[in-house]
Amino acid sequence: MDYLHMIKSHKPEKIALVDDGVEYTYGDLIHLAEVKRAQLTYEEKVYFIHEEKIADQLINFLAYSGTATVPVIATAASKGQSFIVEHIPEAACMGVMTSGSTGKSKLLWRSYRSWVDFFPEQNRVFGVDENTVIFCQGSLAFTGNMNIYMSILFAGATLIVTEKFRPKQWLKLMELYKVNTLYLIPSKLLLLPRFITEPNNNVRYIIAGSQTMGRAEADKLLQVFPNVEITLYYGASEMNYITYIKDKDMTDDRTDIGLPFNGVQVTVKDEEIFIDNNFHVEEIEMPFTLKDRGYLDTNGRLHFLGRTDDIIGVNGLKISSQKIEAVLKELPHVMEACVLSIHSGDADVLTAYLGTDGLDEDEGVALNAEKAEGVLAPTDIGNAKLFSKSELVQLLKTSHLEDHEIPKQYYFMNVLPKNESGKIDKRKLQNYQG
């Protein structure tokens, strides 16, 4: 059994996918994937899918999945990287990519059953059935998108998708195709109220993850989608979905990420979260840790306190703070650096705190890379000079940082605060206002 055979149980004339206005029925997807499969030579063990269009990614995936050549939808970051695949687990029907702490994409293997057996449970929680018409934005290379797309096809529902980052256009597609469900990360969802002039009564379900959300954000969405039920999930590429919280249970405590899905066990030891389920990637041992910190309250609800390693979440992306800090410490007169994700307004802001030898102790200057004319960087003690925004961004880009890895806000201080053990006190930095 594979994903191509899975969708053959649905009515062939029903619309399965609309990719930026181009419609594909279930029959179309089956035909195009079967034509592609008939042309396969199976000379390679792995096929990396580099197509740009979502429809092309999906058709290639359906064609290869379950065959002797295992498909992997390549991330943008991975396209310049080389992979030597020496071993593929016998049960693998697909490979998924996730960001590694070294900046190199990590390749994980999944069996068909590891997702399909969980689809009924996640669709129950998310309110997905054959009548769902869901809007999603982004490539299948994002594992969250890939999973949702497959679960929607499993249900015989309809996907309305776009790769473009144009919220006004998203709203037009939602209206045109009578969308009743949204799948977007919170920072993208919270762009929509800016462009909605009157309440949208058609949307009944919102599915969101990869970022935290509290009462205030939920209320903003409920003002423009008054009939909606919001589900915020906590999950990971390695483990599938782990916990979820509904809007009715959200409070000002943004650490609350809810109760486990059925079939998922969560334990916490010394503030480290461990997961046990049957829906994980191949060849990992259970219980498994994502190196996340948290605790279970008296009601069994999981609270997320951050990561135990250097990977931080910024608007749905996992970023290595250590990688960015190493680059920043190469700047003139920067002696130490700390990079944090600071939640501001409706989004996460990648923020850099720099300890320099050019400012008086306890004197800090907040600088915004998007709004300021330039960025202050000391080149002589007591005689700070000004880098333009473009100069700084170009300097960081030449140091092999991706666009999303370049901080948006900078604090320059003489010395970064330390805790009792002599390590940088990140909690104090998070509360620092300049």
pLDDT for res 107: 87
User: Is the domain of 273 the same as that of 326?
Assistant: no
Half-sphere exposure of residue 20, counting CA atoms within 13 Å on the CB side?
Answer: 12
Q: Does residue 313 sit within a domain?
A: no
136 and 39 housed in the same domain:
yes
E strand residue ranges, 20-121: 22-25, 46-49, 70-73, 92-99, 105-111
Query: How much is the pLDDT for 413?
Result: 82
The structure's pTM equals 0.75
Whether residue 126 is contained in a domain is answered as yes
Residue 68 counted as domain residue: yes
Specify whether 290 is located in the same domain as 398. Answer: no
- What is the identity of the amino acid at 116? V
Integer angstrom CA distances of residue 151 from 155, 227, 292: 6, 23, 26
Q: What integer pLDDT is reported at residue 116 of this predicted model? A: 97
Which of 307, 337, 367 terminates a domain? The answer is 307
**Whether residue 255 sits in one domain with residue 354:** no
Beta bridge partners of 416: none
CATH, residue 338 = 3.30.300.30
pLDDT in 10s for each residue of the chain, 434 residues: 899 999 999 999 999 999 999 999 999 999 999 999 999 999 999 999 989 999 999 999 999 999 999 999 887 656 666 677 888 999 999 998 875 444 456 789 999 999 999 999 999 999 999 999 999 999 898 889 999 999 999 999 999 999 998 999 999 999 999 999 999 988 789 889 989 999 999 999 999 997 778 898 999 999 999 999 999 999 998 999 999 999 999 998 888 999 999 999 999 998 899 999 999 999 999 999 988 889 999 999 999 887 776 778 899 888 888 788 878 877 777 778 899 999 888 889 999 898 875 444 333 444 444 333 334 333 332 333 335 556 667 777 777 788 889 998 888 887 788 654 456 788 888 877 55
**What per-residue confidence (pLDDT) applies to 420?**
43
Identify residue 76 by its one-letter amino acid code: A
Do 199 and 105 belong together in one domain? Answer: yes
**Which pLDDT score is estimated for 387?**
53
Q: Which one of 255, 280, 307 terminates a domain? A: 307
Q: Is residue 312 part of a domain?
A: no
For residues 210 and 185, is the Cβ–Cβ distance under 8 A? yes
Structure tokens at 116: 């399909």
Does 422 lie in the same domain as 377?
A: yes
Give yes or no: residues 339 and 245 share one domain: no
Q: Is residue 417 part of a domain?
A: yes
Q: Which of 204, 201, 265 is nearest to 230 (CA)?
A: 204
Instruction: Identify the domain containing residue 255 by its residue range.
Output: 3-307
Tokens of 21: 């206005």
What is the structure's pLDDT at 104?
57
pLDDT of residue 368: 44
- Please count the structural domains in the chain: 2
Amino acid at 187: S
Mapping DSSP to helix (H, G, I), strand (E, B) and coil, where does residue 428 land?
helix
Do 163 and 20 contact (CB within 8 A), yes or no? Answer: yes
- 287 and 167, same structural domain? yes
- DSSP assignment of 186-249 equals HHHHTTGGGT-SS---S--EEEEESS---HHHHHHHHHHSTT-EEEEEEEETTTEEEEEEEGGG
Residue 56, CB half-sphere, CA atoms under 13 Å: how many? 8
Residue 256: inside a domain, yes or no? yes
Integer CA distances (angstroms), 434 to 8, 339, 393, in order: 59, 15, 22
Looking at the structure, tell me whether residues 384 and 287 fall in a common domain: no
Whether residue 164 sits in one domain with residue 102: yes
The answer to the question of residue 181 being in a domain is: yes
